[in-house]
């Protein structure tokens, strides 16, 4: 019986995946490494970077109630990509092509906001 149970438990671990907390980037929807974090009174603006893309999210400090949130990401020389609306936890992700380009990001949760200026140059 033991010979049957152990492989079965091992295969369940492979199917269900590892237990524990997921990385922050998985919760945000952005891939790449965390490049910049800007905290403000009601949340956090997070900017991630891969080799050729930048991605941003605005995360509420206290998720729960639906409130106005916004995140914007603009490559230098391009148009801003914006996600805004009433959300419970985060606005975004927004993603722009940023190979050899600076970007600027801004985020807002409720009445408070933050921005980065030109970064990732």
pLDDT of residue 29: 86
d(CA 116, CA 121): 12
Report the greatest alpha carbon distance in the chain.
66
- 81-87 and 67-75 as β-strands: parallel, antiparallel, unpaired? antiparallel
- What pLDDT, on the 0 to 100 scale, is given for residue 27? 60
* H helices present in the chain, as ranges: 2-16, 24-28
Q: What local confidence, expressed as pLDDT, does residue 119 receive?
A: 96
Tens place of pLDDT for every residue, the chain, 121 residues?
444 444 444 444 444 444 444 444 456 789 999 999 999 999 999 999 999 999 999 999 999 999 999 999 999 999 999 999 999 999 999 999 999 999 999 999 999 999 999 999 9
pLDDT confidence of residue 5 = 43
The answer to whether the CB of 114 falls within 8 A of the CB of 107 is yes
């Amino acid at each position: 019986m033991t010979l049957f149970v152990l492989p079965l438990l091992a295969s369940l671990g492979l199917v269900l995946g590892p237990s524990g907390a997921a990385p922050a980037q998985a919760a945000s929807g952005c891939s790449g490494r965390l490049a910049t974090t800007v905290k403000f009174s009601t949340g956090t603006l997070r900017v991630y970077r891969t080799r050729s893309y930048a991605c941003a999210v605005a995360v509420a400090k206290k998720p729960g109630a639906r409130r106005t949130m916004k995140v914007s990401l603009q490559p230098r020389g391009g148009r801003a990509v914006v996600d805004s609306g009433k959300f419970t936890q985060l606005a975004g992700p927004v993603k722009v092509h940023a190979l050899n380009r600076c970007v600027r990001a801004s985020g807002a949760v409720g009445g408070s906001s933050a921005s980065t200026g030109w970064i990732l140059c």
